[in-house]
């Protein structure tokens, strides 16, 4: 009996140590965006504009509301969420998480960084190891928006031509 309890306790601690401090932060933002999908009754659309970055797209009234891009390399994985304003087509909010590992075997994380960008308030927050490490003002003309808008336009065209 004591041996079984000991095994259960060790198992719990092992599972807890597998999650990173950033998991809680990222999960909260992720859940907020998924709630937005449900509230807006968004329709999921299966299409990938850029083959190296698989995407998930959610539409409301024939407009892209949420775009999720994923990327994976030899030692890093990334996932980015982009929430669009249906009226102005601008990006309201983005969340990006990049996890890099010490080596290609991916046993140990070297970095785990989350960027939360609020384009309406022109602020960007950077989280590392579950702690807000930087909060800065940004320029709204970030060059990455051009790429995102190109993906957005191509995805909307494909969605509306079905």
Q: What is the pLDDT of residues 58-86, one digit of tens each?
A: 999 999 999 999 998 888 899 999 999 98
Q: Residue 141's CB: how many other CB atoms inside 10 A? A: 7
C-alpha 18: how far from chain center: 20
Strand, helix or coil for residue 20: coil
DSSP label of 29? H
What is the rounded distance in angstroms from the CA atom of residue 155 to the CA atom of residue 48? Answer: 8
Helix, strand, coil distribution of the chain in percent, nearest 5: 35, 40, 30
pTM of the model: 0.82
φ/ψ (deg, to 5) at 69: -115, 140
| pLDDT digits 0-9 by tens, 12-51 | 555 545 567 888 888 888 898 889 899 989 999 989 887 7
pLDDT value of position 24: 86
| pLDDT digits 0-9 by tens, 133-161 | 999 998 765 556 788 999 999 999 999 99
């Amino acid at each position: 009996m004591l041996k079984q309890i000991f095994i259960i306790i060790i198992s719990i601690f092992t599972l807890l140590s597998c999650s990173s401090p950033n998991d809680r932060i990222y999960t909260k933002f992720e859940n907020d965006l998924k709630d937005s999908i449900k509230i807006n009754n968004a329709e999921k659309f299966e299409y990938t504009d850029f083959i190296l970055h698989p995407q998930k797209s959610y539409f409301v009234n024939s407009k892209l509301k949420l775009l999720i891009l994923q990327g994976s390399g030899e030692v890093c994985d990334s996932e980015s969420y982009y929430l669009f304003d249906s009226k102005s087509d601008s990006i309201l909010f983005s969340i990006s998480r990049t996890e890099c590992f010490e080596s290609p075997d991916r046993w140990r994380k070297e970095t785990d960084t989350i960027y939360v960008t609020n384009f309406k308030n022109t602020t960007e927050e950077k989280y590392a190891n579950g702690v807000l490490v930087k909060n800065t003002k940004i320029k709204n003309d970030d060059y990455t928006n051009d790429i995102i808008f190109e993906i957005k336009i191509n995805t909307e065209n494909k969605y509306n031509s079905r």
